[in-house]
Amino acid sequence: MGAVENLKRLSDPKQRADVGFVQGGLPAELRSDDLVSLGTVFYEPLFVLYRSATPIDRLSGLAGKRVAIGREGSGGAALALALLKANEIEPGGATTLLPLADEAALQAMLQKRADAVFLAGDSARPEQIRRLLHTPGLRLFDFVQIDGYLRRFRYLSRIDLPTGVLDLGINLPNHPTTLVGPTVELIARSGLHPALSDLLIEAAQEVHGHGSLLQRAGEFPSPVEHDFPISEDATRYYKSGKSFAYRHLPFWLASLVDRLVVLLVPMLVLLVPALRLLPAMYNYRIRTRIYRRYAQLMAVERDSQDLAGPDQARKMLERVDVLEKAVINLKLPAKFADEAYVLRQHIDFVRARLAQVAAGAQSG
């Protein structure tokens, strides 16, 4: 399955695909806004080999020839067509574009049924490139216009082949050669669980983090953004590695903790303001008990304005005594004691006034 097919499946919500390898530079209409990158994982170099008595330094030199560009619909074919179009070579013109890949493209070159071949991905295995370069008359195209290609095609990268890297015995290539190639990204749907994101990047480090003929050790995976935005989980992983839970707990337990955190954080956001209100609510509730007694005291004082005689005054004094006893029995925190004693002073004030009224009524 090629990069184009991978991207189509990831972009289609009806397909059961969550993660896939996608080559850079594929048509924008194939992409979905729901896709994010977990990082760049490796280069996919493009090898262009051609048959000529003299070197060709521009792809436009392939005009009018038979060129194998790769399997139709593949990422390699899409890249070949884009580069050829930039050199004014398009399907339907004088140049014959052959949809050949892998062994079929190799045999076409060896049997002289093709004059040039674009090899990328699985079709560009080192042993196949060596086999072709060992054939008299075949040359490896050197992208001497590399800076121009990189400016025109932002998704391409420069790949330098040192002298002799493919075959030290016969010195292939016999001079430093520049290739171009897109990078391949690990693409996922945005809803991918953070734990799976961490595991996938960790696996990519184990598989693609080693050095090779075309990359330095530790160069990949890399959080370099190309066609897709880097996911927030991937950014966090590249900056600080696995989360504390996944470093120190079994996977199942760390996953559970992760889910609990997702649930608890919104709750804490709501609880923190509520917790700040609790002391004020508590103070209000305690003071309400005191204010209730003040209301009763004020009612006694209002009723004392219309006393008919000493008997009524004594009944009022009994109400005041009951009120004072209720205040004494209030269960209040110590910090509210001053308010309770102030209330008792006010009770004494009303009691003294009622006693005066009762005494005056008796003397009258």
Please check whether residue 71 lies inside any domain of the structure. yes
Taking the model in full, what pTM does it have?
A: 0.63
The confidence band for 118, taking pLDDT boundaries of 50, 70 and 90, is very high
Q: Is 257 left (phi over 0), alpha (psi -120 to 50) or beta?
A: alpha
Domain limits at 349?
259-363
The confidence band for 355, taking pLDDT boundaries of 50, 70 and 90, is confident
Task: Please check whether residues 133 and 14 belong to one and the same domain.
Answer: yes
* Final residue belonging to a domain, choices 212, 242, 272: 242
d(CA 75, CA 64): 23
Most confident by average pLDDT, 115-119, 339-343, 351-355: 115-119
Mean pLDDT, residues 289-317 taken together: 83
Per residue, what are the HEC states of 86-112? Answer: HCCCCCCCCCEEECCCHHHHHHHHHCC
Task: Please check whether residues 170 and 238 belong to one and the same domain.
Answer: yes
Q: What is the total residue count of the chain?
A: 364
pLDDT digits (tens, 9 = 90+) for 41-80: 888 899 999 999 999 999 999 999 999 999 887 888 889 9
Task: Please check whether residues 177 and 61 belong to one and the same domain.
Answer: yes
Task: Please check whether residues 60 and 192 belong to one and the same domain.
Answer: yes
Element (H, E) at 265: helix 251-303
Mean pLDDT, residues 7-30 taken together: 83
pLDDT digits (tens, 9 = 90+) for 119-176: 987 778 888 888 899 999 999 999 999 999 999 998 899 999 999 998 999 999 999 9
Number of domains the chain is built from: 2
Compute CA distances 277 → 206, 271, 273, 287, whole Å: 52, 10, 7, 16
Residue 188, classed as helix, strand or coil, is: strand
In the numeric block, which tokens belong to residue 280? 């004020």
